[in-house]
Amino acid sequence: MSDQIADALVQANALLDAGDFGAATGLFSRVLAERPDSIDALLGQGECALRTGDFEDARDCFETARALAPGSVRAVCALARLLRSDGDAAGAVSVLQSVPAAAVDDVELQFELGLSCNAAGDVEGAMRAYRQLLTVDPNHLGALVNLGLVYLSQLGDAVQAQLMFERARKAHPRAVAAQANYGLALFEHGEFERAIAHFDELIRANPDTVEYRWNRALCFLQRGDYSRGWPDYELRHVRGGRDVRRDFGLPVWEGNTPTGSSVLVYGEQGVGDEIMFASCLPDLIDRRAGVVLECDARLATLFARSFPPIVVHGAARDGNRAWLQRYPALKAQIAIGSLPGMLRTSAENFPKHGGYFVADPARIEKWRGHLGADAGLTIGLSWRGGTRKTRADLRSMEVQEFFPLAALKQHRFVCLQRGDCKDEIAAARAAGLDMQWWPEAFDDIEELAALIAVLDRVVSVDNTVVHLAGALGKSCFAILSRVPDWRYRLDGDEMPWYPSVRLFRQTRVHDWQEVISAVTAALGAVGRER
């Protein structure tokens, strides 16, 4: 390799590291014009394409590099990372497992294999990869932290997670991921005071580190200490080194709305979050504040019907601001998730409402016709929720866990689970739990809300169904993992956001039997009362 080409590669990689992908791509292309077989240039150009979302070009570069150098672990890892980023985690695992056995001790390979296995849902495979990596490099930060996260978020083993994070923080005391997750492991193990003291110490030493303050905020909120939790909940927009706050060119609303002006309340996070935080909107109506609500387009008609004084705009969140010109009275903006920090600063501030959503009357009548009359209760069931990032493995259960409900012969059951449930419904019916299932109920949220509105009760794991039921004022039994999301608090059977929701909590991770027994008994008691 000539000195000129070597210098160009050094410069190109420096530009890549600095995030100047256009300039880096130009230099890599110049190198490839002279040396089309340069693995370094192909991998660099592919990385630029991957970072800018050009997956097709990235794949071409990585596959060419792999073909030129079949034994290159770098090329294999780059291709696997692309496949994982493009949603093909299984393909990434397959590519990584194709390398010669001699590469088993390669740190980069095992780390990427751990990430890819985890993304593919192969928890055991991820753990094997991380453990193999740690035999080569016992202090590898990524392996220690990610193995700890598997224990914490997917297996619910806070003790083992704590051990991994402890190793990571001892080897890398300045690593934010190690310190932040160690505090969460303490909290989930029930060591609440130690966890908060840990974060307090870290914040004193690193006051500008967002992750420490954010995790402490979640601890406070889960304990019901809202006055101390909400201020740093505002950091949700600036986590991960990026500021993703939305700016509509208006000052942030501070609670006062001058006569003749309006405030823009804009949606954020997931559909369930928007539904839950919408419980604050009646407070704004009571204050006679003029409100324009920008929300997820799927919720627009439901919000408009439920809050008639509010102007509702369903948005695609594509950055388009032109629609704001229709509302010249707008003088301030606030994220819907910031309203509780102003309106729900203590447990006493949560209203005992009977529901604030109004389902579509025409759809309600349609579902009443489908269901007909029955002497017992009509109960909706949902058993899956969340994503891998939001602890789906801990929040969700198999439909088989509901089979004991078959003993309640006086009641009938309706599937409220999104997705293709054909096989699960068949298994339930074979076990004596006869669930009715209408796939069209999930065509849109309005349809699902109307179906929930005509049911007598809902039984669901932590997902959007709980939020819809609570917002409709529908009686709901929420089935929770041992350490649930912060909104459910740490203990008790009441949910401050939704008075109609009763909480049933796990006592052991992955053990739903005790919870379902309690739910079955509660439903049987309701039946006897009728």
Residues 6+ apart with CB under 8 A from 79: 59, 62, 63, 66, 92, 95
Q: Which tops the pLDDT comparison, 182 or 17?
A: 182
Angle at 460 between CA 454 and CA 464, to 5 degrees: 80
Residue 378 — φ and ψ, nearest 5°? Answer: -105, 120
Judge if 3-241 and 361-529 fold alike in CATH terms: no
| Domain residue ranges of the chain, discontinuous segments joined by + | 3-241, 262-349, 361-529
Provide the edge-to-edge strand list for the sheet that holds 330-335.
Answer: 311-315, 290-296, 262-266, 330-335
Q: Are strands 378-382 and 412-415 parallel, antiparallel or unpaired?
A: parallel
Contact of 471 with 356, CB cutoff 8 Å: yes
CATH of domain 262-349: 3.40.50
Q: Across all residues in the chain, what is the average pLDDT?
A: 91
Contact of 123 with 155, CB cutoff 8 Å: yes
Burial of 443 (0-12, 13-18, 19+ CB in 10 A): exposed
**pLDDT at residue 1 in the model:** 53
Residue 98 — φ and ψ, nearest 5°? Answer: -85, -10
Contact of 79 with 91, CB cutoff 8 Å: no
Structural tokens at position 32: 């490839």
**Single-letter code of the amino acid located at 48:** C
268 has pLDDT over 80: yes
Integer Cα distance of 82 and 201 in angstroms:
39
Q: What percent of the chain has pLDDT over 70?
A: 97
Contact of 216 with 231, CB cutoff 8 Å: no
Helix (H) or strand (E) holding 423: helix 422-430
Integer Cα distance of 474 and 471 in angstroms:
8
pLDDT, tens only, 134-159 = 999 999 999 999 999 999 988 989 99
Lowest mean pLDDT among 3-7, 162-166, 473-477: 3-7
Q: What percent of the chain has pLDDT over 90?
A: 66
**pLDDT at residue 347 in the model:** 92
529 has pLDDT over 60: no
Strands (DSSP E) contained in 229-274 are 262-266
Question: Which DSSP state fits 39?
Answer: H
Radius of gyration of the chain (CA): 26
**pLDDT at residue 530 in the model:** 41
pLDDT, tens only, 56-72 = 999 998 899 889 888 78
Of 329, 233, 338, 297, the residue nearest 446 (C-alpha): 297
102 has pLDDT over 80: no
pLDDT, tens only, 347-364 = 999 999 999 999 999 999
**Single-letter code of the amino acid located at 313:** H
* In CATH, 3-241 is 1.25.40.10: yes
Beta bridge partners of 318: none
**pLDDT at residue 527 in the model:** 57
CATH class of 361-529: alpha beta
Three-state secondary structure readout of 476-490? EEEEECCCCCHHHCC
Of 104, 54, 108, 110, the residue nearest 82 (C-alpha): 54
Of 453, 494, 242, the residue nearest 364 (C-alpha): 453
Query: pTM (2 decimals)?
Result: 0.87
Structural tokens at position 213: 């303050």
318 has pLDDT over 80: no
Integer Cα distance of 18 and 170 in angstroms:
30
Integer Cα distance of 74 and 350 in angstroms:
54
**pLDDT at residue 101 in the model:** 65
Q: What is the mean pLDDT of residues 298-303?
A: 95
Integer Cα distance of 478 and 459 in angstroms:
6
Beta bridge partners of 295: 314
Q: What is the mean pLDDT of residues 28-39?
A: 87
Integer Cα distance of 220 and 230 in angstroms:
8
Strands (DSSP E) contained in 157-278 are 262-266
Structural tokens at position 45: 């150009």
Q: 375 pLDDT band (50/70/90 cuts)? A: low
Residue 449 — φ and ψ, nearest 5°? Answer: -60, -40
Beta bridge partners of 294: 266, 313
**pLDDT at residue 300 in the model:** 94
pLDDT, tens only, 270-282 = 999 999 999 999 9
Question: Which DSSP state fits 350?
Answer: S
Query: Within a 10 A sphere around the Cβ of 256, how many other Cβ atoms?
Result: 10
